[in-house]
Amino acid sequence: MRILRKPDFLKLPEGVAYCRGKKWFFGGLAFKGETVSDVDWYELEFNWVDGHDLGECFERMDAMLTDGVRFPMQDSICRNGLYEDDDLFLVFDEDDLLKLRGWIDDAIRLSRN
């Protein structure tokens, strides 16, 4: 992995895997989309349920919690819109991604039970 400041992160191509944060705390895994300005970009995160609108998402998450039902994760890309210049970016390299893929493969096997 490597850590980049925002100006260098924005120069990266679409599809790069990263976690955004501050010194020394990083959030969840995301994939970089198109850079749209010198402060903004699109990204794909994985910590939300898919739904037509926010209300449906909340209803689905309530049902997931109370009734044990399952819904797919969100897979739409959205504009970041957080213009914090002091953000740091933990960017995954090939070896990191291969290790992650191994854990995902294991999780897929476990999810079949």
- Residue ranges of domains in the chain: 2-111
CB atoms within 10 A of CB 104: 10
Amino acid identity of 70?
Answer: R
pLDDT in tens, 3-24: 999 999 999 999 999 999 999 9
- The DSSP string of 50-62 is --SSHHHHHHHHH
Strand 88-91 to strand 41-45: parallel, antiparallel, or no bridges (unpaired)?
Answer: unpaired
| Ranges assigned E (strand) in the chain | 2-5, 17-22, 25-35, 41-45, 78-79, 88-91
pLDDT in tens, 40-95: 999 998 889 999 999 999 999 999 999 999 999 988 888 887 778 899 999 999 99
